[in-house]
Amino acid sequence: MQKPAYTTRYFVAVVLILMLVSTINVADKELLAPVADAVKAELKMTDTQLGTVRSAVFLAALLGQFLWGPLSDRWVRKYIITIGTVTWSAITWMTAFVGNFPQLLAARAGMSFAEGCFNPSSYALITDTVPKRRHGLVLGLLSLTYPVGTAAALVIASIIGSARWRQPFLMYGLIGIVLGLLVLWTVREPQRGVTEESVQATEGIYTGRFSFAEFRRVLTIPSVLLLFALDTCQASVNWSIAFWAPTYLTRYHIAPNAESAALALLPAILGFVAGAVLGGWLIDRLRHRTERAAAWVALISMSGGLVMALLVFNLFQLAWVMTAAFFLGVVSYMVLPAVSIAMFSVVPPETKATTISTSNIILNLVIAVLSFLIGAISDATELRLSFGGVVLVMFTLGIVVCLALLRTLKGDIARHQVLVEARTTK
């Protein structure tokens, strides 16, 4: 089978399109955060109900992974991205018309179930499209769409105003539908495993095919299990910050109102962007020296994040909080490309999407529980205790996981290379 000849222009185009879709993906998930107080007041909700809505988002995403991961490893990934994007965007548009807590709960859950298609399909597709030596940079660019999408939600909500909180749902819903169709018209489906070094060196064809038996073997790889844990730690921190930080800033009078609180997160978001790119770039540079580059970058990220989080939760002047939050963003987001690169270094190409989905199932379950607990503990005590406690504990666990990953990663990478070579035909 002849390999498609991709040009640099196509590489740039497909990365940009997937970045735009990912940005809308994150923005849709975070549209509720900057207007949470306004929605809570209009729909007569409690903090516990608000936490329940947040939990429903992650539980629905968890359920979606049982479908999207195996489907992405068996079917055409660009079709899955298109169908999912159009569906979740249509539900986002309809969220503008909810009138009570149950309707909001159903809308947010439905959106999340559909958007769960994106990560497994897109990350598997892009790593089979772009040469492996550029995976750090590309995955870093995709990772920065998380803070950019969060910023897009915060800024638009702040400009429009919390009193008109329904309008951003209309806007982002329509934009997402257009982008979903753009994926269908522009993106090509690459061969699985085509960017692996042994496949490139022999100009061969990777013959591995997805099966649940093969995936069960993946679940015996020590580094994969540790990466599931690390992904859960970083996601718990970042999604908790994205959702609860605006409420935290207003409730403790660090920011004067909801709009100011949303905009006050922009330095942290800029730090997230810088951290995602920096993490990917560092790993690409360090991989020539050590196969454990991703694990070292992850350890630096989790350790630095813990120090900066301790500082952030002990500052109560807005200017100082914003400054510390910028550096928190830089160090904590370096871990995102590290997780993806390490994962794709030890799992067979035919199981990439299902492995990502499994990680998403675990992290969505944990975040759903934590989101509910943050709200419930906040109602019983105070938000600073529940919100800050979760962030600090997850950073600490992340450090422990990174130390273990440094011991297992090198051997698992070597075994992966042997497996790929055995499944490559000339």
Residues contacting 285, CB < 8 A, separation 6+ = none
Quote the CA–CA distance of 172 and 87 in Å, as a whole number: 13
Per-residue pLDDT reduced to its tens digit, 362-420: 887 888 788 788 888 888 888 888 888 999 999 999 999 999 999 999 999 999 988 88
Angle between helices 383-422 and 352-380 (to 10 degrees): 170
Given a cut of 90, is residue 225 above it in pLDDT?
yes
Return the beta strands (E) in 16-75 as ranges: none
What percent of the chain stands above pLDDT 70? 96
Compute how many other C-beta atoms are within 10 angstroms of the C-beta atom of residue 313.
18
Give the pLDDT confidence score for residue 195 in this predicted structure. Answer: 79
Q: Whole-prediction pTM value?
A: 0.78
Quote the CA–CA distance of 369 and 54 in Å, as a whole number: 10
Quote the CA–CA distance of 21 and 16 in Å, as a whole number: 9
Q: C-alpha angle with apex 214: 213 to 220, nearest 5 degrees?
A: 95
Domain ranges across the chain: 8-425
What's the mean pLDDT in 90-108? Answer: 90
- In this prediction, residue 5 has a pLDDT band, given cuts at 50, 70 and 90, of low
Per-residue pLDDT reduced to its tens digit, 267-307: 888 898 888 889 888 998 888 888 899 999 999 999 999 99
161: left (phi over 0), alpha (psi -120 to 50) or beta: left
Structure tokens at 134: 């550029």
Give the pLDDT confidence score for residue 110 in this predicted structure. Answer: 93
On the 0-12 / 13-18 / 19+ scale of CB atoms within 10 A, 217 is middle
Per-residue pLDDT reduced to its tens digit, 53-93: 877 887 888 888 889 989 999 899 999 999 999 999 999 99
Q: Give the amino acid at 186.
A: T
Give the pLDDT confidence score for residue 382 in this predicted structure. Answer: 87
Q: If you average pLDDT over every residue of the chain, what do you get?
A: 87
Angle between helices 293-312 and 318-333 (to 10 degrees): 170
In DSSP terms, which residues pair with 425 in a beta bridge?
A: 205
Quote the CA–CA distance of 142 and 374 in Å, as a whole number: 28
Structure tokens at 52: 């329940």
Residue 205, H or E segment: strand 205-206
Higher pLDDT, 7 or 113: 113
Give CA 277 to chain center in angstroms: 14
For residue 232, give the nearest of 387, 346, 409, 401 by alpha carbon. 401
Given a cut of 60, is residue 118 above it in pLDDT?
yes
Residue 242, H or E segment: helix 222-251
Give the pLDDT confidence score for residue 1 in this predicted structure. Answer: 40
Give the pLDDT confidence score for residue 89 in this predicted structure. Answer: 94
The label of the residue with tokens 């921190």 reads 237
Give the pLDDT confidence score for residue 306 in this predicted structure. Answer: 96
What's the mean pLDDT in 185-200? Answer: 81
Given a cut of 90, is residue 311 above it in pLDDT?
yes
Give the pLDDT confidence score for residue 208 in this predicted structure. Answer: 79
Angle between helices 335-344 and 352-380 (to 10 degrees): 150
What's the mean pLDDT in 189-218? Answer: 81
Give the pLDDT confidence score for residue 402 in this predicted structure. Answer: 97
Given a cut of 80, is residue 182 above it in pLDDT?
yes
Quote the CA–CA distance of 337 and 341 in Å, as a whole number: 6
Are 24 and 168 spatial neighbours (Cβ–Cβ below 8 Å)?
Answer: no
Q: Helix, strand or coil for residue 206?
A: strand
Q: Give the amino acid at 36.
A: A
Given a cut of 90, is residue 353 above it in pLDDT?
no
Given a cut of 70, is residue 181 above it in pLDDT?
yes
For the domain made up of 8-425, give the CATH fold: Growth Hormone; Chain: A; (1.20.1250)
Measured CA distances, 264 to 143, 253, 274, 325, 375 (Å): 21, 12, 17, 9, 22
